[in-house]
């Protein structure tokens, strides 16, 4: 287990910090957001304070403590404020430049255009965008990723916050449980391959994934409906990881 220091900045110039322990950077970042939420509601005074209230929290940084200090992330909004889909951002920009004094005819035409644009904006419940061209970007600890599976061909995609889609790497280089690829909804080789692949990506640690994937297969992947699409996020995966007995035992030993 490594130790990380989490520094939380409030509005203006007020700060608090705490130390957390985690097995991987991904788990540390997930715990840092939870720690920041707790710090926002503490009743005591922050370590440094130029104000009397706690609001508009921002993670100033999450750094490793052990050995040479190494930055994990900085300047992260932790309360669920995520970037808009690119299409939604374009719609907001169009709204921002509209003239509120246009005549009724122009206003009606603008409204038709904006409604059409709004209906085209993707949502979390949108159909799988797997057929859109996309280029995989470097993994980042402060990104929220979605893992989306569909039963036609048992394809699994990774979608980042910008809507970029790429196929999930099955990680045959680590374990070749299922040369034919992923599957789910039962205890077997295809679900084992999928569990390993998801944990490798979400945790960004092959060693950690290999320790946990069989349990993740039994608890999560085997329970998916074999004939239905499904969706998980990195938050879902990390919530499961941090409730695993190996993690809770380690926390008790600290």
Strand-pair partners of 74: 61
* 103 Cβ neighbours under 8 A, 6+ residues apart: none
* 247 Cβ neighbours under 8 A, 6+ residues apart: 23, 27, 241
Q: Would the pLDDT of 227 be above 80?
A: yes
Asked whether the beta carbons of 192 and 235 are under 8 A apart, the reply is: no
In 3D space, the residue among 245, 242, 244, 170 whose CA is nearest the CA of residue 26 turns out to be 242
Residue 198: pLDDT band (50, 70, 90) is very high
* Predicted confidence (pLDDT) per residue in 231-244, tens digit: 999 999 999 998 88
C-alpha 217/C-alpha 199 separation (Å) is: 10
- Of residues 205 and 13, the one with the higher pLDDT is 205
pLDDT of res. 13: 54
C-alpha 55/C-alpha 9 separation (Å) is: 9
Does this model's pTM top 0.85? My answer is: no
* Predicted confidence (pLDDT) per residue in 153-164, tens digit: 999 999 988 788
């Amino acid at each position: 287990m490594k130790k990380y220091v989490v520094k939380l900045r409030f509005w203006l110039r007020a700060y608090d910090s705490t130390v957390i322990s985690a097995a991987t950077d991904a788990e540390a970042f997930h715990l840092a957001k939870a720690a920041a939420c707790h710090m926002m509601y503490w009743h005591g005074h922050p370590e440094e304070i130029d104000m009397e209230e706690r609001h508009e929290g921002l993670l100033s940084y999450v750094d490793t403590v052990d050995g040479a200090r190494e930055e994990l992330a900085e300047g992260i909004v932790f309360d669920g404020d995520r970037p808009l889909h690119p299409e939604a951002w374009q719609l907001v920009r169009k709204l921002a430049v509209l003239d509120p004094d246009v005549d009724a005819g122009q206003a009606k035409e603008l409204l038709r255009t904006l409604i059409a644009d709004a209906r085209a904006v993707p949502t979390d419940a949108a159909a799988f965008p797997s057929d859109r061209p996309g280029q995989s970007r470097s993994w980042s600890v402060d990104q929220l990723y979605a893992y989306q599976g569909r039963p036609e061909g048992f394809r699994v995609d990774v979608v980042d916050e910008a809507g970029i889609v790429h196929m999930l790497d099955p990680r045959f280089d680590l374990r070749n449980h299922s040369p034919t690829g992923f599957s789910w909804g039962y205890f077997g080789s295809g679900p084992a391959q999928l569990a390993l692949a998801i944990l490798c990506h979400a945790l960004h640690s092959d060693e950690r994934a290999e320790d946990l994937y069989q349990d993740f297969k039994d608890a999560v992947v085997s329970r998916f409906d074999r004939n239905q699409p499904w969706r998980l996020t990195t938050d879902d995966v990390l919530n499961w990881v941090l409730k695993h007995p190996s993690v809770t035992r380690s926390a008790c030993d600290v």
